[in-house]
Structure 1
Amino acid sequence: MKKRLIVMMIAVMVFTASPFMSNEAEASGTVTPSALVEYALKFKGVPYKWGGTTPSGFDCSGYLQYVFNNFGISIPRVSADQQKVGTSISKSNLKPGDLVFFVAQPGNTRISHSGIYVGNGNFVSATSSKGIAVESLNTNPYWAPRYVAAKRYSSVRETTTTPVAAPKPALPVGQYYDVSTGHWAVNEIKSLSSKGIINGYDVSIFKPENPVNRAEAATMIAKALGLKPVNGTSFKDVSSAYWANGYINVAKNAGIIDGRGNGYFEPTALVTRAEISAMLTRAFAMKATNTTVKFNDISGHWAESSVIKVASSNLATGYDDGSFKPDASAKRAELAAFIYRAIGN
Structure 2
Amino acid sequence: VNGKENSRFDPEGAVSRRDFALMLTRMLGVDVSGYTNTPFNDVKADDYALGAIAYCAENGIVGGDGKGNFLPGDSITREEAAKMISVAKELTGTTTEKFKDDAKISNWAKGYVDACKAAGIFGGDEKGNFNPKSPITRAETAKIMVVAMDK
TM-score scaled to structure 1, two decimals? 0.41
- Structure number with higher helix proportion: 2
**Mapping for residues 81-100 of structure 1, pairs under 5 Å:** none
Superposition deviation, residue 297 in structure 1: 2.1
Superposition deviation, residue 292 in structure 1: 2.5
Matched residue type, 1:248 = I
> What 5-or-longer segments of structure 1 have no aligned partner?
1-197
Equivalent of 2:93 in 261, 278, 288: 288
Matched residue type, 1:285 = E
> Quick check: 1:339 aligned with 2:142?
no
> Quick check: 1:255 aligned with 2:57?
no
Given that 1:272 and 1:327 are in contact with CA atoms closer than 8 Å, whether structure 2 keeps it comes out as: yes
Residue 219 of structure 1 corresponds to: 22
More contact order relative to length (CA 8 Å, sep ≥ 6) = 2
Given that 1:228 and 1:250 are in contact with CA atoms closer than 8 Å, whether structure 2 keeps it comes out as: no
DSSP-derived class of the 1:238 partner: coil
Residue 277 of structure 1 corresponds to: 82
Superposition deviation, residue 202 in structure 1: 4.3
Percent identity over the alignment is 33
Equivalent of 1:208 in 5, 11, 14: 11
> Quick check: 1:240 aligned with 2:45?
yes
Residue 326 of structure 1 corresponds to: 132
Matched residue type, 2:136 = A
Residue 36 of structure 2 corresponds to: 231
Partners of 1:228 and 1:293 in 2: CA distance: 36
Equivalent of 1:297 in 96, 101, 117: 101
Partners of 1:207 and 1:305 in 2: CA distance: 30
**Mapping for residues 8-19 of structure 1, pairs under 5 Å:** none
Matched residue type, 2:51 = G
Superposition deviation, residue 298 in structure 1: 2.5
> Quick check: 1:315 aligned with 2:118?
no
1:209-240 deviations in Å (ceiling 9; x for gaps) = 10001000011101111222211110000011
Partners of 2:55 and 2:48 in 1: CA distance: 14
Equivalent of 2:71 in 249, 266, 273: 266
**Mapping for residues 26-41 of structure 1, pairs under 5 Å:** none
Partners of 2:86 and 2:36 in 1: CA distance: 25
Point out 4+ residue stretches in structure 1 off by more than 6 angstroms: none
DSSP-derived class of the 1:280 partner: helix
Partners of 1:249 and 1:287 in 2: CA distance: 24
Q: 1:268 to 1:202 in 2, by over 3 A?
A: closer
Structure number, greater radius of gyration: 1
- Structure number with higher strand proportion: 1
Aligned residues: 147
Partners of 1:241 and 1:287 in 2: CA distance: 35
Partners of 1:278 and 1:199 in 2: CA distance: 22
Give the alignment's Cα RMSD to 1 decimal.
Answer: 1.6
> What 5-or-longer segments of structure 2 have no aligned partner?
none
